[in-house]
Amino acid sequence: YTILSKVHSDRNVYPSAGVLFVHVLEREYFKGEFPPYPKPGEISNDPITFNTNLMGYPDRPGWLRYIQRTPYSDGVLYGSPTVENVGKPTIIEITAYNRRTFETARHNLIINIMSAEDFPLPYQAEFFIRNMNVEEMLASEVLGDFLGAVKNVWQPERLNAINITSALDRGGRVPLPINDMKEGVYVMVGADVPFSSCLREVENPQNQLRCSQEMEPVITCDKKFRTQFHIDWCKISLVDNTKQVSTFQEVIRGEGILPDGGEYKPPSDTLKSRDYYSDFLITLAVPSAIALVLFLILAYIMCCRREGVEKRNMQTPDIQLVHHSAIQKSTKELRDMSKNREIAWPLSTLPVFHPVTGEMVPPLHTDSYDNTSMPLMQTQQ
């Protein structure tokens, strides 16, 4: 079901297209590439990490993934080769880093992809296993147990593991570090016989309704997986390649497709010099001249076309001028009086003669009279 190999120097492997390929990078093998532990008698447990890339490129091929959970665990290369890579040897550079001594060791893995006679298998099913991480599922014994359970409920003649994908690569979230929660893994398998009735139960209207209500569907063969694998049956995907119709259509040229303009002809290397004097006149001189003319017209209107006071008085009625002059004189008198506080008392406050006796009556108050102490209302005598 899967190709499992241990790392060796310049190792050649021969995976099949469309079949899951797994390659384990063992830390125990690379420990011999680094100097021994400093203290004799102690077992070396150096942290080792791996870097994998396609020779001559900074990353791996698109179909090949790599995972290593911690520096104290083995690394795993896994993926499903494609038909396009058949017959093309792929050289993967594996660089091991010793985090204690900062030394490195490099090996090459030569992947020779072979064509599979029964590829592609027409019936493919993808399961989502909630209680597994991708590195746990890649182990040969765990994957073998899962394929055995699928074979019991499907009963195919040929069954292959096509691909394994972490739920994090499908947009899943990192689980909380409580209750030993797992991130989940998608496992795609292919067979040569139609889907069994047990797998078809997911398409029942009752189970579809339960899935839409976020309830667990009722699957009769779930007990064959439940002992070791918790499958989310609402996320199962069944693909029947025998019923898929080719969607290729001839491209009809219309308004949305540009006409063929021929080959691209770049401009020549020798460019002619260009005179920018006319551009300067258009962009700077002409707007400046227009602004200057407008400024002169506005200055003439504001400064040279004033009517003056005489023309204003000639157009104003005489009675309005008299009222205006009287108001100005009264205002001027009041301002002069407020400036000089030493002026004589008004006639209403000067001494007057008694109308009966003819005697001089003193004014209502003297010059030294303090009117601030006088109450507002006099009491009756």
pLDDT tens figures, 60-115:
998 899 999 899 999 999 998 888 888 888 899 999 998 888 888 888 999 998 88
Identify whether the C-beta of residue 16 lies closer than 8 Å to the C-beta of residue 63. Answer: no
Identify whether the C-beta of residue 164 lies closer than 8 Å to the C-beta of residue 187. Answer: yes
Q: Which residues of the chain carry a pLDDT beneath 70?
A: 1-9, 37-44, 117-119, 244-261, 306-308, 341-381
Residue 29 exposed, middle or buried by CB count within 10 Å (0-12, 13-18, 19+): middle
Query: What pairs with residue 352 in β-bridges?
Result: 361
Q: Strands of 21-25's sheet, edge to edge? A: 3-6, 21-25, 75-79, 64-67
Q: What is the pLDDT of residue 340?
A: 72
Q: What is the pLDDT of residue 186?
A: 93
- Angle 178-184-186 from CA coordinates, rounded to 5°: 180
Q: What is the pLDDT of residue 198?
A: 87
Q: Please report the sign of the dihedral spanned by the C-alpha atoms of residue 373, residue 374, residue 376, residue 377.
A: positive
**Both structure tokens of 334:** 């009041």
- Cα–Cα distance for residue pair 295/301, rounded to 1 Å: 10
Identify whether the C-beta of residue 104 lies closer than 8 Å to the C-beta of residue 35. Answer: no
What number of CA atoms fall less than 13 Å from residue 91's CA on the CB side? 9
Beta strands in 167-261 (DSSP E): 185-191, 237-240
Identify whether the C-beta of residue 98 lies closer than 8 Å to the C-beta of residue 165. Answer: no
Q: What is the pLDDT of residue 246?
A: 43
pLDDT tens figures, 232-244:
998 888 888 877 5
- Cα–Cα distance for residue pair 225/131, rounded to 1 Å: 12
Q: What is the pLDDT of residue 347?
A: 57
Ordered domains of the chain (ranges, CATH): 11-113 (2.60.40.10), 123-240 (no CATH)
Q: Please report the sign of the dihedral spanned by the C-alpha atoms of residue 55, residue 58, residue 63, residue 66.
A: positive
Q: What is the pLDDT of residue 297?
A: 92
- Cα–Cα distance for residue pair 100/84, rounded to 1 Å: 41
Q: Where are the alpha helices (DSSP H) in the chain?
A: 27-31, 134-137, 140-154, 197-200, 205-212, 223-226, 277-280, 286-304, 309-314, 318-339
* Residues near 364 by beta carbon (within 8 Å), at least 6 away in sequence: 349
Q: What is the pLDDT of residue 248?
A: 43
